[in-house]
Structure 1
Amino acid sequence: MVGVGVPLCVQCGTRSNPCRCKVVGPTVGFLAFAAAAVVEWPLGAFVYIFRHRKGRRIMAHPATVVYPSVTNAIPI
């Protein structure tokens, strides 16, 4: 039987907690990044046809804003 696993992201060497490793923050950040990317990348690709810079900003939003915000908000 094959099980479906949840993506698990680990970030070690941080100073945000005593263990110096984060698991929950990066994992939830990745899931939020993926959810935002599903919506924003097709939208950004469509906008890119008419306004190049705006389309690039929309497509970069999950990586530059969503992932770091969620990852840094959860210190564990």
Structure 2
Amino acid sequence: MTGAPVCIECGTRDNPCRCKFVGPTLGFLAFVVTAIIEWPVGAVVYIFNHSKGRRIMGHPVSVVYPKVSNAIPI
């Protein structure tokens, strides 16, 4: 039986414990959900427009994960 992944980020100054695990874990889960949707779409768009396809496929890692991870300080 597998559980949800747990991501830990230590050395931050967002909270007194200097470790985050809720934000990075939820950020990773949001990344996976958006990647499942956006990577196939980006691959199809890439055939016709390379730069737009790369932007679509890079969106989960460059926008979704950092926003969700940074929004939750713990």
TM interval, shorter chain, is over 0.9
Which of 20, 25, 38 lines up with 2:36 in the alignment?
38
TM-score (norm 2): 0.99
Write the deviation string for residues 5-56 of structure 1: whole angstroms up to 9, x where unpaired: 1100000000000000000000000000000000000000000000000000
Structure 1 stretches of at least 4 aligned residues deviating more than 6 Å after TM superposition: none
- Counterpart Cα distance in 1 of 2:47 and 2:71: 34
Paired residue for 2:63?
65
Structure 2 unaligned blocks of 5 or more? none
- Counterpart Cα distance in 2 of 1:52 and 1:29: 27
Provide the identity percentage: 69
The correspondence of residues 1-76 of structure 1 with structure 2, limited to 5 A, is 3-76=1-74
TM-score (norm 1): 0.96
Aligned residue for 2:24, secondary structure, equals helix
Counting matched residue pairs gives 74
